[in-house]
Structure 1
Amino acid sequence: MVRPTALITGATSGLGAEFAQQLGRSQHDLVLVARDAARLEVKAVRLRNDFGVQVEVLPADLVTDDGVSSVSARLADPARPISVLVNNAGFSLVKAFENNAIEEEVAHLRILAQTPMELAHAVLPGMLERGGGSIITVSSVSAFIPRGSYGAAKAWGVSFSRSANLRYGPRGVNVTAVCPGFVHTEFHERMGANMGGVKPWMWLDAERVVREGLTDNAAGKSVSIPSRRYATLMALSRMVPDRLAAAAGNRGR
């Protein structure tokens, strides 16, 4: 029996590592993408031992043309089809837009919007030809509120997934933007953000975010907002002025 294969970007930590864990447990072979080859190998060994699946490592810097090209080539390879693409790689900038170098903002936009677009474009033709597949982009609840260039870039994933799911869902390809709030991962630590103002009830576990995201994708939903608390907050955010929504988001509330 041939197992389906999932390719996951940003696969060595956080939500990417959890996607690899849950997809490996469900007997998907895996292609793990990240910049750090050594960390990829460590993760691959653990997944092979735990689940008995094939795990390929693909070191790539997805802010660069060469990195994106190498992953796109793997996604488009008809001899080794990819059934699930998880666009998870990304980072955020701590300072306000005007205080960042434009080169930082360009790289930020590249990893959060352009790279997922290129990778989806590479994998989609094969999925449509085979009549099935899943494309999951890790977005954020920031996509729904005024939250600087991070929220703007994350909004691309939501808008694209809504449109693409309508177009390709009937042809067997489910496209979903997973939009969590604050998640217990290395993400905020790596960006150097002070998260002291975030209330304990606002934190989610990576296991839950990924589990609900995969379930919603399988159900054909274009947008997944893990947990009722965040779904409710995002519904309420549409009813308040932008200034209030932005202030709440920037305070972590």
Structure 2
Amino acid sequence: MTRALVTGSTAGLGLEFAWQLAGTGHDLVLVARNEDRLQAIAAQIRDVHGVDVQTLAADLSERSRLEVVAKRLTDPVDPVDLLVNNAGYGLRGTFLEVPVEDHERQMDTLMRAVLVLSHAAARVMVQRRRGAILNVSSLAGYTATGPYAASKSWVTVFTESLAMELKGTGVTATALLPGFVQTEFHERASMNVEGLPRVTWLKAPYVVEQALRDTARGQVISIPSVKYRTAGEVGRIAPRSIVRAVTSPRWHQKLMEKKVARARRQASRRDLRAPWRRDAE
């Protein structure tokens, strides 16, 4: 029986990875910051799927706790066959609105943790000549939407480089680049996603299923759904001046202002067509 280690495993895609991996018979090591939530989820998964579930409470932005997780990946007695680097979060506000210390902690989680854990896992996996690393990146990495997007661009390029280095070793590296997924991620970061059409959103079970399938095939880049694969290719090859123009926070702000202004004009026209409404008020 194989074992998977999943970071950020108590919410969003990480939680879905945990459930789907357990459902296919994988033992687990669950990593997240909240000890109580970790224990509760581990107990639920054990009860439902009967697999062995270990837990490690760790804030991956803290170097000492990151080292604990890295050490678990190198355990020769109870090896980890699949590493899912999923931990991450967004920040509330623009680059200049958020204290630089918060940006540093976010970068430590989004990039340094991926680097350190991938290095620890890959070295022992290569010795065993089997294993897989799945790094959760984002299509945001093709945009110009701040430090989060920049970090995801790094994750994608890093994973591509790692995959080439591992070629022929029996170990693979895959970067998952989802678009908008129905999780609490955007709400936690207070991101304004109002007005996005329903077709834009993907469901977490579908994204995770596709990611695990692509990882099993050794695919380097996993982009769920045709529409996002198309969007990703456009974002990758489009001139950067155009990408900056249509994905910057300022562009989004202007778009929302236009949306509000249009709604007000429509409301005004409705009032003109029905003046009795104002009298009734």
* TM-score in terms of structure 2 length: 0.85
Written as runs of structure 1 = structure 2, the 5 A alignment for 1:83-162 is 83-162=81-160
Q: CA RMSD in A?
A: 1.6
Structure 1 unmatched ranges of 5 or more: none
Q: Assess if the C-alpha contact under 8 Å between 1:169 and 1:220 holds in 2.
A: no
Q: Show the counterpart of 1:179.
A: 177
Give, in angstroms, the shift of residue 197 of structure 1. Answer: 2.8
Q: Show the counterpart of 2:190.
A: 192
Q: Show the counterpart of 1:15.
A: 13
Q: Assess if the C-alpha contact under 8 Å between 1:169 and 1:175 holds in 2.
A: no
Structure 2 unmatched ranges of 5 or more: 256-281
| Counterpart secondary structure, 2:83 | strand
Give, in angstroms, the shift of residue 243 of structure 1. Answer: 4.1
Q: Show the counterpart of 2:62.
A: 64
- Of stretches 97-106 and 12-21 in structure 1, the one that deviates more from structure 2 is 97-106
The verdict on how the C-alpha distance between 1:211 and 1:92 changes in structure 2, with shifts beyond 3 A counting, is: same
Q: Show the counterpart of 1:74.
A: 72
**Structure 1 consecutive aligned stretches of length 4 or more whose deviation exceeds 6 Å:** none
Instruction: Give the whole-Å Cα distance in 2 for the aligned partners of 1:169 and 1:94.
Output: 39
Q: Show the counterpart of 2:260.
A: none
Identity percentage of aligned residues? 39
Instruction: Give the whole-Å Cα distance in 2 for the aligned partners of 1:88 and 1:247.
Output: 29
Instruction: Give the whole-Å Cα distance in 1 for the aligned partners of 2:165 and 2:237.
Output: 29
Give, in angstroms, the shift of residue 194 of structure 1. Answer: 2.1
| Counterpart secondary structure, 1:99 | coil
Q: Show the counterpart of 2:243.
A: 245
* TM-score in terms of structure 1 length: 0.95
Instruction: From the CA coordinates, give the structure whose radius of gyration is larger.
Output: 2
2:25 corresponds to which of 24, 27, 33? 27
Deviation track 1:159-183 (CA, whole Å, cap 9, x = no partner) reads: 1111111121321111011010010
2:206 corresponds to which of 208, 226, 242? 208
Instruction: Give the whole-Å Cα distance in 2 for the aligned partners of 1:198 and 1:182.
Output: 9
Give, in angstroms, the shift of residue 77 of structure 1. Answer: 1.2
Structure with greater contact order relative to length (CA < 8 Å, sep ≥ 6): 1
Give, in angstroms, the shift of residue 239 of structure 1. Answer: 4.2
Q: Assess if the C-alpha contact under 8 Å between 2:90 and 2:188 holds in 1.
A: no
